[in-house]
Amino acid sequence: MKVLLMSALLALLFLPAYAQDVYGPPTKSVYVELGGAGLPYSVNYDFRFDKHRVDSWGMRIGAGGWAINEGENSRTSMLTIPLQINRLLGRDKHYFEIGGGATFVRYRDTYTSYWGTPTITTSENWNFILDTGNTPALMGTLNLGYRRVPVDGGFTFKANLNPIFNHNGFWPLWFGIGFGYAFN
């Protein structure tokens, strides 16, 4: 009985400390980014590896792209999947963001003839900022910029310079702007 009573007392003493850990700073966020590592746009999920510190290493993964019907027999589509490792440096709600990673790019231009012949799909020599050649392909991405993360969670904002590169070159002036929600 004494052991049970002592265990209950210790649980009551340490439970408030555990509850504070659960409701720590906002180390996760979901946001839409125009430009940036997702190229035209992307929807992203970002999280910190250390769940108790905003100013730490983290990762973001997203998806973006488009599909356009160009008449009855033609369709163009693109899929991008950005993946980056990043670090936030700062305090309170203002952070400098630095990182790098890669973006998977898949482009398709599909045409179906009027007479019902098989669909012809091409993906050669696609250009979006840099020539990617055949797709699927990877484009390297860098990330330098500002991120606002509210102390208690809520609306988050970011603006970044995102140089991109691949086997055909380097483009230093690609920008991204993102809006979303930070939470824990």
pLDDT value of position 135: 79
Asked, for residue 14, whether it belongs to a domain, the answer is: no
pLDDT in tens, the chain (184 residues): 455 444 444 454 454 444 444 567 899 999 999 999 998 999 999 999 999 999 999 999 999 998 888 777 778 888 999 999 999 999 899 999 999 999 999 988 777 766 666 565 656 666 777 877 777 889 999 999 999 999 999 999 999 999 999 988 999 999 999 999 999 9
pLDDT value of position 58: 98
Asked, for residue 57, whether it belongs to a domain, the answer is: yes
Asked, for residue 121, whether it belongs to a domain, the answer is: yes
Domain that holds residue 116: 26-183
Asked, for residue 19, whether it belongs to a domain, the answer is: no
pLDDT value of position 12: 45
Q: How many domains does the chain have?
A: 1
Q: Which CATH number belongs to the domain containing residue 175 in this structure?
A: 2.40.160.20
pLDDT value of position 51: 93
Asked, for residue 11, whether it belongs to a domain, the answer is: no
SS3 per-residue string spanning the chain: CHHHHHHHHHHHHHHHHHHHHHCCCCCEEEEEEEEHHHCCEEEEEEEECCCCCCCCEEEEEEEEEEEEECCCCEEEEEEEEEEEEEEEEEECCEEEEEEEEEEEEEEEEEECCCCCCCCEEECCCEEECEEEECCCEEEEEEEEEEEECCCCCEEEEEEEECCEEECCEEECCCEEEEEEEEEC
Asked, for residue 82, whether it belongs to a domain, the answer is: yes
Asked, for residue 17, whether it belongs to a domain, the answer is: no
Asked, for residue 49, whether it belongs to a domain, the answer is: yes
pTM for this model (two decimals): 0.80
pLDDT value of position 16: 46
pLDDT value of position 69: 85
